[in-house]
Structure 1
Amino acid sequence: MDLIHQIINSDKLAFEQTFLHWQSRVYYYFIGRTRDEDFAEELTQMTFIKLWEYREGLSTEHDFDTQLFRIARTVMIDAIREKERRKRLMNQFQTERDTIESYLSTPNEAQSDFDKSLKALPAVRKKVFVLNRLHGFSYKEIAAELNISDRTVEKHISLALKQLRRMLTLFSFL
């Protein structure tokens, strides 16, 4: 039985041997494109995870290496897009954070406006925001404390910042 059939049939030994044989080639493929050793290592691991997860979708009509590097390319594109999305989100957070901090650093009227805006947030969103921005809790700590996912915490922070920014901008016009 050839390698592709073995992997399709969930042969863990064949997969392990495949990993050992192809790991360095996939890693150097990523190094050549990203110039980032840590990122290349992460992408290599993700490639073999995807290979195992989607093993039933492998084709016996195409060469294994062609399929493996197609998976690798897709993993890299997805990871770069995700990195860029997170970078944009972090820039947006920073801009919104700077806006909020400027209100916090100004005298009483701005503080009063901020307090009103904060009180208007939904309860969970307010709690997440206060824990993160005012008490310095990390997303992971908040997620564990409130029994929600890191992504949910991230979403609450994003929505809170947007809502506070909108409300503070509104107050500045009044």
Structure 2
Amino acid sequence: MTDNGLHNEQELLQQIAGGNETAFKQIVDVYWTKVYGQALAYCKSAPQAEELTQDTFIAIWINRQKLPDLTNFAGYLYSIARHKLLNTIRQKLATTIAVDNIPLEETNWRPDVQMEYRQAYDQLMQGMEALPPVRKKVFMMSRLEGKSYDEIATELQVSRNTVKEHIVKALNFLRSHVATHHDCFFPGVLLLIFLRD
């Protein structure tokens, strides 16, 4: 039996690939809470997290022909969820949503300010790609998967202090990277999503 309670997951994936909706419902029932929890940790909005989770499973269904060839369905699922989350973040930057329910100033609707958000996001993404592989993985697990330091330490079989050290160094690097490549104020929404301590 897998960690998620499915002893016949591969068989279910085969059935889903063939269009079996009952098998698909079983997979959704097992993984929904985990995907939703991770989405909620970063969206801070239950409706938005639910929509993101639904979109993730819709993508699984649409691309169901790929399922029989997967050796790690959970990893595939969470990869799609991360992609959906990044798209959500991009949409936040494009529409300059309110941060913590406090409306942004009207000046933030100006095209030049919108450009600042997009440029800051691009610099952040470039900085993340420049991180050493292990540090990047730890950072993504923390910021995009919503995992705690203890969960990451257990999964990677390292100490909690090692995880914390990776996060601190990643944050320091990203702040420096963005400051070096981005002259203007770093948008608060990115700080809240990625660069919180």
* Interval containing the TM-score (normalised by the shorter chain): 0.3 to 0.5
Q: Which has the larger radius of gyration?
A: 1
TM-score by length of 1: 0.47
